[in-house]
């Protein structure tokens, strides 16, 4: 990721390289990303070719069950840097925080990076820009 990622907690400082990029092998914690809260971590999984489709279906079922009247949320897939990405845009409701949840799966489908970018109402365009930069900054083998 770019140099605008700053650890927001002391425990996440060890994930940051001197040049401001994030070391994926030690990634985990909360960061300030252009004034928005980014929580991120890596997970190893048993090879699962249907991971993105399964996770998307679970998210859609959960939305139907718990947020049936929410027309603002969206769930979609895309590719960034050759890696499959699943993105969910959610309305924070009474908390007045909106957020993007994302999963980026490596080509071998043996690990993924997952995170949540939280932002206040009125910061939608900045959040979209930040999310695009975060996803572009994730490099996986």
The C-alpha torsion from 63 through 69 and 70 to 75, rounded to 10°, is 40
DSSP for 100-118 reads EEEEEE-TTSSEEEEEEEE
pLDDT for 93: 61
pLDDT at 95: 60
User: How many whole angstroms from its chain centre is CA 117?
Assistant: 6
Beta partners for residue 101, in sequence order:
88, 116
Half-sphere exposure of 105 (CA within 13 A, CB side): 22
Residue 58 structure tokens:
């679970």
pLDDT value of position 53? 95
pLDDT at 115: 92
pLDDT in tens, 95-137: 678 899 999 999 899 989 999 999 988 898 999 998 988 888 7
pLDDT confidence of residue 139: 75
Condensed to tens digits (0 to 9), the pLDDT of residues 11-46 reads 444 445 555 555 555 556 787 777 888 888 888 899
Note the pLDDT tens digit of each residue in 58-100. Answer: 988 887 777 666 656 789 999 988 889 999 998 876 567 889 9
Give the chain's end-to-end CA distance (angstroms, integer). 15
Residue-wise DSSP of 30-59: EEEETTEEEEEEEEE----TTHHHHHHHHH
The model's pTM is 0.79
């Amino acid at each position: 990721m770019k140099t605008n990622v700053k650890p927001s907690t002391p425990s996440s400082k060890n994930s940051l390289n001197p040049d401001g990029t994030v070391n994926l092998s030690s990634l985990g914690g909360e960061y300030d990303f252009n004034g928005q809260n980014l929580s991120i971590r890596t997970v190893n999984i048993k090879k699962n070719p249907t991971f993105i489709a399964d996770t998307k279906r679970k998210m859609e079922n959960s939305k139907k069950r718990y947020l049936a009247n929410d027309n603002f949320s969206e769930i979609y897939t895309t590719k960034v840097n050759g890696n499959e990405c699943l993105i969910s845009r959610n309305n924070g409701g009474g908390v007045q925080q909106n957020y993007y949840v994302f999963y980026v799966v490596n080509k071998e489908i043996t690990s993924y990076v997952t995170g949540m970018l939280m932002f206040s109402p009125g910061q939608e365009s900045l959040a979209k820009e930040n999310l695009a930069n975060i996803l572009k900054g994730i490099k996986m083998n």
